[in-house]
């Protein structure tokens, strides 16, 4: 029983987090997946996350509702701010204030109840949108904080925040996921996917994803709206 | 306009956070108060928080719903676990996994949208229940992480986590709050207060509060159930 490693895996339903789930499974973890209904406009990713979790053999999938749209401040949660079609200077308007901190905190709460030692997150600091909460020093600082925050750690447990994609290019991520058998047609990356999960093809996230498939030499199975 | 200091103040509706709000106000901050409906059994504190925020002149009060009861693991969110009447060895069952981390993360999200530079929290490491997320090294680590997490900080802003009560005894807190005019009869500290906000008088939180009033030599205006 003690040899079983358990992990909470943050699963958005996108390409990156699906690859992370495959990596965690390949490393022998029992995986508990967690998604967030945070008021995002691209809600098709939530259906994708649930399907992926089941298809990829996770133990349990938890959908947590936390209305970050109530705070505003992001194109992803505020219909009045358009999702841009061109790469931005600096941090783009699709940045959601403190999103990864909120998600990791809730993963920390669940991980303590489950006696989990590892939290996996699909952040990436190479082919990404410049969000501050995707960088290695941020992840390292969260881990330090988390190891002071909980009863589990107070009693000698060590919590690891695993970000296996953090230094990989999008092409490397796709190559790795393909080797592990990830079905990318089931993933939704687009910031404004329609209800069927079809991608717009023009947002930052679509652009990074499409370029990644080309660079990896892998057929792009993404469903586009047009 | 630039001289106005803004703060998010975590306001549970209890004695400590009401004192923190008074301290922040006395230091000249415009205060934005934040409470959490997290599935706690002592929901009377939410009404108290809303009343206190209004009575004490906060700019805005935000109630955020996040169902930590869904994770379980605490007497405060799970009706099947009794609130103990005797002080515990170690961390008691009233500990809620990662609660302060979740609360501070959501305060961080709101603070970024509001362009707030300070988050106030009423944690205390003297007369407290031994929760790990009430200690100075935890608060310091959260601040380090927060300053790597957001666009606001990326653009040169510095965020401070203020915990003005952290080294004060309960009696010192009550003395300070009384000097600042806090009406403690409006606060609810009890872990199992009834719907009218009347305290049980026997839980850990009631015990610490009652002892504090005695030690401070301040009349205890708490409403008890019996």
Q: Give yes or no for residue B37 having a pLDDT over 50.
A: yes
pLDDT above 90 covers a percentage of chain B that reads: 62
Return mean pLDDT, chain B.
90
State whether residue B85 is helix, strand or coil. coil
More confident site: B71 or A28 = A28
Return mean pLDDT, chain A.
90
Tens digit of each residue's pLDDT (9 = 90 or more) over A110-155:
998 898 999 999 998 876 667 888 999 999 999 999 999 988 777 7
Does residue A150 contact residue A107 with C-beta atoms inside 8 Å? no
A98/B91 CB distance under 8 A: no
Tens digit of each residue's pLDDT (9 = 90 or more) over B116-142:
999 999 998 876 667 888 999 999 999
Find the CB nearest A105 among B70, B105, B137: B105
CA contacts within 13 A on the Cβ side of A9: 34
Which A residues, 19 through 38, put their C-beta within 8 Å of a C-beta on chain B? none
Tens digit of each residue's pLDDT (9 = 90 or more) over B81-94:
787 776 666 777 77
Hey, is the C-beta of B180 within 8 angstroms of any chain A C-beta?
no
Determine the Cα–Cα distance for residues B219 and B24; give it in Å rounded to an integer: 24
Residue in this structure with the two tokens 């207060």, named with its chain if needed: B193
Tens digit of each residue's pLDDT (9 = 90 or more) over B156-168:
888 999 999 999 9
Residue of A nearest to B95 (CA): A151
Does residue A140 contact residue A98 with C-beta atoms inside 8 Å? no
Please compute the mean of the pLDDT values over residues B32-59 and round it to a whole number. Answer: 92
Residues of chain A neighbouring B38 (CB-CB closer than 8 A): none
Residues of chain B neighbouring A62 (CB-CB closer than 8 A): 70
Residue range(s) defining the domain that contains residue A152: 5-216
Residues of chain A neighbouring B149 (CB-CB closer than 8 A): 98, 100-101, 132-133, 138, 142
Structural domain includes residue B9: yes
Residues of chain B neighbouring A70 (CB-CB closer than 8 A): 62, 64
CATH number at residue A105: 3.40.50.620
Question: What is the pLDDT, as a whole number, of residue B87?
Answer: 66
Residue in this structure with the two tokens 């002892």, named with its chain if needed: B211
B149/A100 CB distance under 8 A: yes
State whether residue A88 is helix, strand or coil. coil
Domain count, chain B: 1
Chain A: nearest CA to B151, how far in angstroms? 6
Determine the Cα–Cα distance for residues B32 and B114; give it in Å rounded to an integer: 9
Please compute the mean of the pLDDT values over residues A25-45 and round it to a whole number. Answer: 91
A153/B132 CB distance under 8 A: yes
Which A residues, 143 through 162, put their C-beta within 8 Å of a C-beta on chain B? 144-146, 148-151, 153-154
Please compute the mean of the pLDDT values over residues A55-75 and round it to a whole number. Answer: 88
State whether residue A99 is helix, strand or coil. helix
Question: What is the pLDDT, as a whole number, of residue A34?
Answer: 96
Categorize the per-residue pLDDT at A226 as very low, low, confident or very high, splitting at 50, 70 and 90: confident
Question: What is the pLDDT, as a whole number, of residue B153?
Answer: 77
Question: What is the pLDDT, as a whole number, of residue A153?
Answer: 78
Structural domain includes residue B221: no
End-to-end CA distance of chain B: 50
Find the CB nearest B98 among A62, A108, A135: A108
Structural domain includes residue A225: no
Residue of B nearest to A34 (CA): B71
Question: What is the pLDDT, as a whole number, of residue B1?
Answer: 46
Q: Which residues contact A191 (CB under 8 A, 6 or more apart)?
A: A41, A42, A75, A76, A83, A94, A200, A203, A204, A205, A206
B109/A71 CB distance under 8 A: yes
Structural domain includes residue B223: no
Question: What is the pLDDT, as a whole number, of residue A86?
Answer: 65
Q: How far is CA A214 from CA A169, A172, A211, B182, in A?
A: 12, 11, 5, 64
Determine the Cα–Cα distance for residues A46 and B196; give it in Å rounded to an integer: 40
Please compute the mean of the pLDDT values over residues B27-53 and round it to a whole number. Answer: 92
Residues of chain B neighbouring A135 (CB-CB closer than 8 A): 148
Q: Which residues contact B217 (CB under 8 A, 6 or more apart)?
A: none
Structural domain includes residue B173: yes
Residue of A nearest to B143 (CA): A145
Categorize the per-residue pLDDT at B38 as very low, low, confident or very high, splitting at 50, 70 and 90: confident
Please compute the mean of the pLDDT values over residues A59-64 and round it to a whole number. Answer: 95
pTM for the predicted model, two decimal places: 0.91
Structural domain includes residue A226: no
Q: Which residues contact A156 (CB under 8 A, 6 or more apart)?
A: none
Categorize the per-residue pLDDT at A2 as very low, low, confident or very high, splitting at 50, 70 and 90: low
Question: What is the pLDDT, as a whole number, of residue B100?
Answer: 94
Hey, is the C-beta of A93 within 8 angstroms of any chain B C-beta?
no
Residue of B nearest to A149 (CA): B133
Residues of chain A neighbouring B64 (CB-CB closer than 8 A): 66-67, 70
Q: How many CB pairs under 8 A join A and B?
A: 135
Please compute the mean of the pLDDT values over residues A167-174 and round it to a whole number. Answer: 95
For residue A30, the cross-strand partners are A6
Cα torsion angle, A191, A194, A200, A206, sign: positive
Categorize the per-residue pLDDT at A1 as very low, low, confident or very high, splitting at 50, 70 and 90: very low
What's phi and psi for A8, nearest 5 deg?
Answer: -95, 130
Structural domain includes residue B224: no
């Amino acid at each position: 029983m003690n040899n079983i490693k358990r992990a909470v895996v943050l699963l958005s339903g996108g390409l990156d987090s699906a690859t992370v789930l495959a990596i965690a499974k390949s490393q022998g973890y029992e995986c508990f997946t967690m998604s967030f209904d945070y008021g995002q406009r691209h809600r098709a990713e939530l259906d994708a996350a649930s399907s992926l979790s089941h298809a990829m053999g996770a133990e349990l999938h938890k959908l947590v509702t936390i209305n970050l749209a109530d705070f505003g401040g992001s194109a992803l949660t505020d219909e009045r701010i358009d999702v841009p079609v061109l790469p931005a200077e600096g941090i783009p308007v699709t940045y959601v204030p403190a999103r990864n901190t909120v998600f990791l905190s809730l993963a920390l709460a669940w991980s303590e109840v489950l006696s989990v030692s590892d939290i996996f997150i699909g952040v990436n600091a190479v082919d990404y949108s410049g969000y501050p909460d995707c960088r290695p020093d941020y992840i390292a600082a969260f881990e330090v904080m988390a190891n002071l925050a909980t009863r589990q750690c107070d009693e000698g447990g060590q919590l690891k925040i695993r970000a296996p994609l953090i230094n990989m290019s999008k092409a490397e991520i796709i190559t790795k996921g393909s080797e592990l058998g990830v079905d990318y047609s089931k993933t939704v990356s687009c910031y404004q996917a329609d209800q069927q999960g079809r991608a717009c093809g023009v947002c930052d996230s679509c652009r990074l994803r499409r370029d990644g498939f080309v660079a990896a030499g892998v057929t792009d199975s993404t469903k586009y709206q047009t």
